[in-house]
Amino acid sequence: MLITLFPALHGERDLPLGLLYIAQTLIEHGYQVRIVDLNLHVGKNIDLGRISAIRDADLFGFSSYRYTMSADISIAWQVRLINDSPMIWGGWGPTTNPLLYIRYAPADIIIPGVHMQAPRVMLDVVKCIEKRRDISIVKGIVYRDGDIIVDTGLGEIPDRIPPLKWDIISHVDLALEDYIEDGVLLVPILGALASCPKYYESPCIYCSIGRVISEYKITYGTNRFNELMQRLMQFDVDRIIQDMENAIVYFNDVLKDKLKRISFTLVDDAVTPENFLKLYKKLVENGLINEFSFMKFQTRPEYIPKILKNIRREHRSKFIMDVGFEFFSERDLLFTNRGSNPNMLANILRELSEKRVHWTGYVILATPVTTAEDLEKNINLAINIAYNSDLLRCNPYLLEEDTYIPLKYGWKAIEWKCIKIYSEHGQVTVVVPHRPRFFIGNKEIERMIKVIDYYIEKVEKLREKAFQKASKIIAERGEIDLNDSIGTVTRVYSLGELRDSLMKLRKALVEDYISKERHKAF
């Protein structure tokens, strides 16, 4: 039986880690698996009918996020015209919105779950289809039976994550060379499934994963929740080291001279200082730290001092910390239940700049309660990060992707948006939740827009200056030295990202302003 898997169409050249785990399970049980990563061909006109993994598949698996839903579904319908084998969907989008996919996608079965439930459930589904058994015996799926939607619950979270056998990449026909950029391959390594302690105490208001995990109490039962919590938080350092060592051997062996440097990204929502220390010690002990270029990982700001304390000076350039600062305004920090405060954040920013480590920072410009003063504080945080870090990532506002906001403030607090989906009936428009509305009045919105207009101009001027400086460096040196000039070059992107976010925020504020005026009129 041939199973062909498709990663979500997000446009990035990332090795599809989640699908590799699924492929590994299926291959170990004697199935043939192919992964067709269309992210490698974005912008090209690909004739899907010429891909044998599509023509010959007995079963398809699609991974999707809500934001890639439109593209994923459109591809799936094209695939169905070529081969009408059953289609199974999983990932964030189908987990949080199974009904949307059942309704609009060629989805025969949905496998909900984003904490490694999928490999086992997928295997059960495949066996069931192969043996032509009734699918209702499989736990962990959602499907349509006539007019009824059947939900058989969630699959099991595994008690341990197996080591990844990288050589399965050779079996699934992935064109590995296409994932290399400038001789560097970024290899994802799975850390803990859900390490952020806040998931289990009081998640941030906009944290979809926090909400999914708190719902596990209902799905799996409170009695089992403690056991599952251990599984989710488990940071199995020996398995992580093994995955890294195996990756170095495998990728060097297969890619040979094409691979100049290997780097890792630790897939873990919030690496804690304790977990970092465990990993760092092992990396140093066995010398593995000298065998890769750098390792990226995500963490919370308050963990930074303890993490930095443990990294020896000579190893600082080995790590890129992605720090979720989010807001600098106290009102926004409180509203979102971030658990940090401006003083603490200021100290951490200072420490990061003084220690001259590599880090990237994430900022959200506004929440529903942000005022003009708050916005200015958040913008200045973003500018600070753009100048002191290697890269700023910025969102204009919170996004509604199954957060606590509608639970707490009702669906009236949510703005919906239309997305176009290409289905079997041509293009259809689907309305999906998009972002929380601004709770503030129109006077405050006017003040915020003034602040935004001022900063759009200011940030654009800063960006132009940064561009000139970066062009000079590149012209003089010919290439970028990671240790001293990456910040100068990436600052252009960071400031561009901030400017674009300001523009998006302005648009959203204007939308809400008009809608509030309309309501007044009635």
- The contact set with ligand SF4 (CB under 6 A) reads 196, 198-199, 203-204, 207, 209-210, 269-270, 300, 324
Residue 335: CB minimum distance to ligand SF4, A? 13
List C-alpha distances in Å: 444 to 88, 106, 276, 327, 509: 47, 45, 43, 19, 10
For residues 341 and 290, give the distance between their C-alpha atoms in angstroms, rounded to a whole number.
37
Residue 148: CB minimum distance to ligand SF4, A? 35
Nearer to ligand SF4, 142 or 204 (CB): 204
For residues 112 and 98, give the distance between their C-alpha atoms in angstroms, rounded to a whole number.
8
> Closest Cα to residue 199, out of 53, 300, 78?
300
For residues 12 and 144, give the distance between their C-alpha atoms in angstroms, rounded to a whole number.
32
Residues in contact with 520: Cβ distance below 8 Å, sequence separation at least 6, in sequence order: none
Mapping DSSP to helix (H, G, I), strand (E, B) and coil, where does residue 323 land?
strand
Nearer to ligand SF4, 180 or 209 (CB): 209
Nearer to ligand SF4, 228 or 448 (CB): 228
> Closest Cα to residue 450, out of 516, 510, 394, 385?
510
Residue 472: CB minimum distance to ligand SF4, A? 38
Nearer to ligand SF4, 83 or 208 (CB): 208
Nearer to ligand SF4, 200 or 422 (CB): 200
Residue 300: CB minimum distance to ligand SF4, A? 5
Nearer to ligand SF4, 326 or 497 (CB): 326
C-beta of residue 266 within 8 angstroms of C-beta of residue 193: no
Residue 67: CB minimum distance to ligand SF4, A? 17
Residue 116: CB minimum distance to ligand SF4, A? 17
CB atoms within 10 A of CB 111: 29
Residue 156: CB minimum distance to ligand SF4, A? 23
Nearer to ligand SF4, 207 or 352 (CB): 207
In this structure, what token pair is assigned to residue 238? 């020996």
